[in-house]
Chain A
Amino acid sequence: MLIHQDEVFTLARRLVGDTELAADVAQEAFIRAWRALPGFRGDSQFSTWLHRIVVNAAWSMRRAQQRHRAAPLGDINQEPVATDRNPVDLAAAASMRPRLLNALAQLSSPIRAVVVLKDVYDWPHRQIADHLGITTTAAKVRLHRGRRQLHDLLWDELGSAE
C-alpha cells in the first residue's frame, strides 16, 4: 500500500478533481483491493489491476454522491466554466501544467474521466467504456468533447512558444 499510495491518490485526484473526495476514493480502493487480493491471479500488472479498482471506486462514489445531492455533479453537455484569468496573468505564469490541471478540473466528471484515462493513462477506448459503463462510441464522443473544451480553455497557453 505504501508503494502505491501516491499513484492511487493521483489517479483518484485526476478522476474526481477534488482532494478530499480523492482521498476517500483512494481509501475505498485500497479496502476493495485488500478484499479482492486473494482473487488477483497476476493476469495483468498489479498496478493496472489497482488502477481498475480505483476507477470503479471513483465511479461508484460519484454515483453515491449524485444520489445524495440535489444537483448532479456534472452533465455531459455541460459547458466548461469560463476562467476569470486575464492574459497578463496567463503570460506571467511560467509553467503550463498547473493551468492544465485547472482546466481538467473544470471539465464535467464524465468527460474528465475519459480524457484522463485515455490521454494521461493511455487506456484503450473499450476498456474505458467497460469501466465507466458506457458504449465505446460514447467514450469517443466524450473524449472529443473533452479535448475540444481543454483546447478552448487553454487556447492562449497552447499557442505560446514551446
Chain B
Amino acid sequence: MRVAGVRSVNLLCRTARRLGPEIANPSRLPAVVASHVRSCLRCQADAVRYRRLRRELGSLADRIEAAPPFLLTGVEQAISAQLASSAGSRQHAHLAATIAGTAAAAASAVAVAMWRRARAAV
C-alpha cells in the first residue's frame, strides 16, 4: 500500500513536471494534480520558479534600452532619399507630359496645315 502511494506521488510529480509552466497557475490544473502540487514541496518549488520567471519577464517591459545614435540618421537618410526620388519622378512625369503635349500640338498643327494646303489645291 505504501509502495503504491509512493508510486502514485511520483507519477503525479512527473505529470506536474510534464505540465511545466502550467503548474504556476493551480486553478487551471486538473484537480488531482492541483491537490498534489499543494502538498508536494518539490512541485511547489517548481511552481514558484515558473511564477518568478513570469514576473521577471513582465518586469522587462519597463526596461528600455538606448537605441544606437546612428538609428535616426539612417531613417532620415532613407526618408530623404525616398522623398527626393518621388520628387524626381514627379519632375520626370511633368517633363514627359510637357513633351507629349508639345508633340501632340505640333502634330495637330502639321495636320491642320496639310489639310488646308490640300483644300487650297482643290
A-B contacts counted at CB < 8 A amount to: 93
Contact in complex: B52, A158 (CB < 8 Å): yes
Whose C-beta in chain B lies nearest to the C-beta of A143? B21
Q: Which of B36-87 contact A (CB under 8 A)?
A: 45, 48-50, 52-54, 56-61, 63-68, 70-72, 74-75, 78-79, 82
Q: Determine if A31 and B78 form an interchain contact, defined as CB atoms under 8 angstroms apart.
A: yes
User: What is the chain B residue whose CB lies nearest that of A99?
Assistant: B56
Partner of B71, one of A9, A101, A119: A9
What mask results when residues 119 to 155 of chain A are scored 1 for a CB within 8 Å of chain B, else 0? 1111000000000000000000001100110110011
Residue pair B49, A5 in contact (C-beta under 8 Å): no
How many interface residues does chain B have, given as a range? 20 to 34
Q: Return chain A residues, CB-CB under 8 Å to B79.
A: 31, 34
Q: How many residues of A contact B (CB 8 A)?
A: 37
Q: Is A6 an interface residue (CB 8 A)?
A: yes
Chain A's interface: helix, strand, loop or mixed, by majority?
helix
* A residues lining the B interface (CB < 8 Å): 1-2, 5-10, 13-14, 19, 23, 26-27, 30-31, 34, 96-97, 100-101, 115, 119-122, 143-144, 147-148, 150-151, 154-155, 158-159, 162
| B interface residues with partner A (beta carbon < 8 Å) | 20-22, 45, 48-50, 52-54, 56-61, 63-68, 70-72, 74-75, 78-79, 82
